[in-house]
Amino acid sequence: MSGMKFEAKSKEAKRLARKRYPGLIDLNARPSGPRHRLRSRVLTPRAIRKIADTLDSADQRDMDCRFSDNFQHAIKPR
């Protein structure tokens, strides 16, 4: 009798463990690989902020150079 229960439980466990749709990609799985590891180190919020500050200062220098004689554009927008 106990063998029948065990067999039924193992069949149910196999049914539950079976992948429902095997061709789909799990979107919630954490990506692994060198690309993800590098992205998490290189594109930190601090690094992006530093890049943005550098680009903003370069844009401001360019505007100062181009429109220094024009009063409307020479004023800093900040």
Domain boundaries, the chain: 34-78
| Percent of the chain clearing pLDDT 70 (strictly above) | 79
pLDDT greater than 90 at residue 36: no
pTM for the predicted model, two decimal places: 0.45
- Is the Cβ–Cβ distance between 57 and 49 less than 8 Å? no
- Tell me what the mean pLDDT of segment 23-40 comes to: 84
Q: By three-state DSSP, how is residue 65 classified? A: helix
Confidence of residue 72 (pLDDT cuts 50, 70, 90): low
pLDDT value at residue 51:
95
Token pair of 59 as six digits? 């844009």
Reading the block at residue 18, the tokens are: 């079976």
